[in-house]
Amino acid sequence: MLEIRSLGKRYPGGTIGLADFSLEVGEGVLGLLGPNGAGKTTLVLHLNGILAAQQGSVTVAGLAVEKPNLREIRRRVGIVFQDPDDQLFMPTVGEDVAFGPANFGVTGADLHARVDAALAAVDMVEHRDRSPLNLSGGQRRRVALATVLACEPEILVLDEPSSNLDPVARRELAEVVLRLDATMLMVTHDLPFALQLCPRSIVLDDGAVVADGPTRALLGDAELLRRHRLELPFGFVLS
């Protein structure tokens, strides 16, 4: 689904965002773990062409992430940003969810069906006519996910999906994600959330992959976590 080859990014002033980064992602959910400044956001912004590769390449389902292909790439790669305010701006939930597919040319009954299916996938059908401003944080996060699902992407990228959620909203979101039959890349500092949802994870630090394997094995390596400034919650025990 996703193939990244020797991707490099250097910011003005010399700061390295990505250093010869390579990765292959097939089906399922992949966790992307790493400390602040590791390059996670830089990577995400390359996946649908918000940032252009200075070195190397990114390919999504056989299509290169390059300027002539960006419209189709942005349909194939759906990014759910950390802050729902980045994606919710219409008067009602239904209009927000319809905005993306309508922009890609979906109309009429097909558009209505897309909205219905996306809202059903995140358990938000009954909120279709409400303002997003009147929803809880967890509900807003699920509607933001629905806005992306309505575009029927081939890859979902979830950027810190559990941040600032209370335990109930976090559980509800996890239940939704576990039901989705999609290829997903999940960027998260929430290590227990990654353990619950991601069979495989990579650890990114200083713009490069420093570990790749089963999430449980990575989180059980105390020295790996210490070396790359990752930490399980106090009292959390791997079962």
pLDDT digits (tens, 9 = 90+) for 70-108: 999 998 999 999 999 999 999 999 999 999 999 999 999
Per-residue pLDDT, 220: 95
Average pLDDT of the chain, as a whole number: 94
Percent of the residues in the chain that have a pLDDT greater than 70, as a whole number: 100
- Kindly give the interhelix angle for 108-121 and 137-149, rounded to the nearest 10 degrees: 140
User: Is 234 domain-assigned?
Assistant: no
CB atoms under 10 Å from CB of 123, counted, come to 16
Residue of 201, 228, 232, 233 lying closest to 35 (CA atoms)? 228
Banded model confidence at residue 212, pLDDT cuts 50, 70, 90: very high
CB atoms under 10 Å from CB of 75, counted, come to 19
Indicate the helix (H) or strand (E) that contains 158.
Answer: strand 155-159
Domain of residue 68, residue span: 2-227
Q: 87 CB contacts (<8 Å, ≥6 apart)?
A: 80, 81, 96, 144, 147, 148
Higher per-residue confidence, 37 vs 185: 185
Length of the chain as a residue count: 239
User: Is 162 domain-assigned?
Assistant: yes
Is the pLDDT at 1 greater than 90? The verdict is no
User: Is 237 domain-assigned?
Assistant: no
The CATH number that applies at residue 203 is 3.40.50.300
User: Is 55 domain-assigned?
Assistant: yes
Per-residue pLDDT, 61: 86
Percent of the residues in the chain that have a pLDDT greater than 90, as a whole number: 87
Per-residue pLDDT, 237: 86
User: Is 238 domain-assigned?
Assistant: no
Contact 46, 60 (CB under 8 A): no
User: Is 239 domain-assigned?
Assistant: no
Q: How far is CA 43 from the centre of its chain?
A: 11
Strand order in the sheet with 2-10: 16-25, 2-10, 55-60, 63-64
Task: Please state whether beta strands 77-80 and 155-159 pair in parallel, antiparallel, or not at all (unpaired).
Answer: parallel
Banded model confidence at residue 37, pLDDT cuts 50, 70, 90: confident
pLDDT digits (tens, 9 = 90+) for 12-34: 888 899 999 999 998 889 999 99
Is the pLDDT at 175 greater than 90? The verdict is yes
User: Is 232 domain-assigned?
Assistant: no
Two structure tokens written together for 7: 């991707």
Average pLDDT (140-164) is 95
Per-residue pLDDT, 14: 85
**Domain count along the chain:** 1
User: Is 235 domain-assigned?
Assistant: no
pLDDT digits (tens, 9 = 90+) for 144-155: 999 999 999 999
CB atoms under 10 Å from CB of 166, counted, come to 11
Beta bridge partners, 10, equal 16
Per-residue pLDDT, 238: 86
Per-residue pLDDT, 181: 87
Per-residue pLDDT, 22: 94
Burial class (CB in 10 A: 0-12, 13-18, 19+), 117: middle
Question: Alpha carbon of 175 to those of 23, 169, 197, 219: distances in Å?
Answer: 27, 10, 9, 22
